[in-house]
Chains A and B, each alone.
Chain A
Amino acid sequence: MKDLLLVLTQKEIKVRYKNSWLGYAWSVANPLAFALIYFVAFGIFMRVEVPNYPLFLIAGLFPWHWLANSIGAAPNIFLANATLIKKVRFPRNVLVASTVLNDGLHFLLSIPVILGFLIAFRFAPSWSWLIGIPLLALAQFMMAYGLALAIASVNLFFRDLDRLTAIAITFLFFLTPIAYSSSMIPTPYQAMIYLNPIAPLMVSWQQLFLSGSLSWPLLLLSYGYALACLGLGSLVYLKLSSRFAEVV
């Protein structure tokens, strides 16, 4: 089981990027490029007033890209491994876990880049990162895995889910305080933002990176949503997995 996860994760890196350094470079370049474009569009042109806006963008975009990459890849996870699924009986959810794990590892490896930017802006990292990062990363893994498992499973039966997923990711991005801060939202909508399951998690990452603080209510809410996603994904998978080989 451990070996299966390991080999599938290696395979994932190999198949997606051909070369593991290239994969890492993309996982850094992609959020940085978005940070730059949002900084120009929203920070300079639209004059969004968030203190240290470039840093704020970076603190939110790196974790967001992990989530968005995993969910964006989800519809094709089982399809891309059709030859394996048709042949052998093995726990197919490991394919999803290895995809999410792979994106997660890339995120963790890019934390030094975030650190570099903090230092350049004369911010100091905090000891609270040592507990904060594992706690938030675990919640995010559960959430991304649960959602990706549900999407990957359902997509075998309804093949156009990848388009819907792409739209959903865009919606999710703009409904989450990543390009803007939650304090900019008009009061009547402030609480509503937390109906979005990923908002508490993303806000927690920003707070952790920028001020070294962990808000326990937000963390609790993040875990609540993460468990719900995990439950949903597992339920869908259990219901459908026995028929994967005949529809893949």
Chain B
Amino acid sequence: MTAVRFEHVSKWYPRYHQLVRGFKASLLHLPETLRSFKREQFLALHDVSFQIQKGETVGLVGANGSGKSTTLALIAGVLVPQTGRVEVKGRVCPLLELGAGFHPDLTGRENIVLNGILQGLTRREVLGRMDEIIAFSELEYFLDQPIRTYSSGMIARLGFSIAAHLDPEILLIDEILSVGDLHFQEKCRDKLREIKTRQVTIVLVTHASAEVRRLCDRAIWLQEGRVVGTGDPDSVLARYEQSPCVVR
């Protein structure tokens, strides 16, 4: 069964200046504004097609700016592609960039509830898992402090603990494990292995090749918004590591 299917997906980002310029200036330069809507776009993903089977663990690799986070955001349904189709079957638990899904002024505990509810659980369900989440994150001591006082590793710990305990069907992990300390990384790896046995689909974005080799069944290599390689992690990574560096 396919959990995620991308069919000829292209994603542009707007590059219009209004964002910086504001409404008044846009009106003052109306013709220019209208033109810039059409012209200034940035192609982040170009005709991307792939499938991920249910229960598969897939590593997404590629240089900075190659479109990995964009791909995850499309799977999470946060972004919508301009052309092509994204089909996702199952409840997605996205662990996108660090701190996403948290409100900086709320405490760790309040953020756990907020985050769980945003992901579609009821308040009672989240509260029922609260203890497990807290225990796994090992952050008891800081739980009543606002998130903005947390270190990056602590935020990552909290984020991973929540996602791992909300019974995801599709788990998206963008890079956040690398900021955890060695002990926590090891703990996450064990947890991911356990989650894998439950037929959860995992998409892992990381620059640590070892991680992909250890955990993933398959790797997809993105370069400048295109899929340039897919298959067994060892062979894809071998080619990726030898390729000249392409950053845009």
Contacts and interface: CB of A to CB of B under 8 A. Distances in A.
Grouping DSSP codes into helix (H, G, I), strand (E, B) and loop, the A interface class, with mixed when no group exceeds half, is helix
A164 B120 CA distance: 36
Interface residues of A, number: 28
A135 interface: no
Nearest to A164: B23
A90 interface: yes
A247 B101 contact: no
Given A7-B114, A11-B110, A246-B14, A88 B23 contact: no
Interface in B8-56: 13-14, 18-20, 22-26
A4 B79 contact: no
Grouping DSSP codes into helix (H, G, I), strand (E, B) and loop, the B interface class, with mixed when no group exceeds half, is mixed
A88 B102 contact: no
A14 B117 contact: no
A231 to B, nearest CB: 22
Interface residues of B, number: 38
Contacts of B89: none
Interface string B222-235: 00000000000000
Interface in A153-210: 157-161, 164
A90 B100 CA distance: 14
Contacts, number: 90
B24 A160 contact: yes
A87 B13 contact: no
Contacts of B103: 11, 15, 81, 83-84
Interface of B: 13-14, 18-20, 22-26, 73, 76-80, 92, 94, 96-97, 99-106, 110, 113-115, 117-120, 122-123
Given A11-B106, A86-B96, A243-B14, 12 more contacts: A3-B123, A6-B123, A15-B105, A83-B99, A84-B100, A88-B78, A88-B94, A89-B92, A158-B18, A159-B20, A160-B24, A245-B79
14 contacts: A81-B103, A83-B100, A83-B102, A84-B101, A84-B118, A86-B96, A87-B97, A87-B101, A88-B78, A89-B77, A89-B78, A160-B25, A246-B14, A247-B19
Interface of A: 3-4, 6-8, 11, 14-15, 81, 83-90, 157-161, 164, 242-243, 245-247
What 5 A-B pairs come out closest when comparing CB atoms? A160-B22, A87-B100, A158-B23, A87-B101, A89-B77
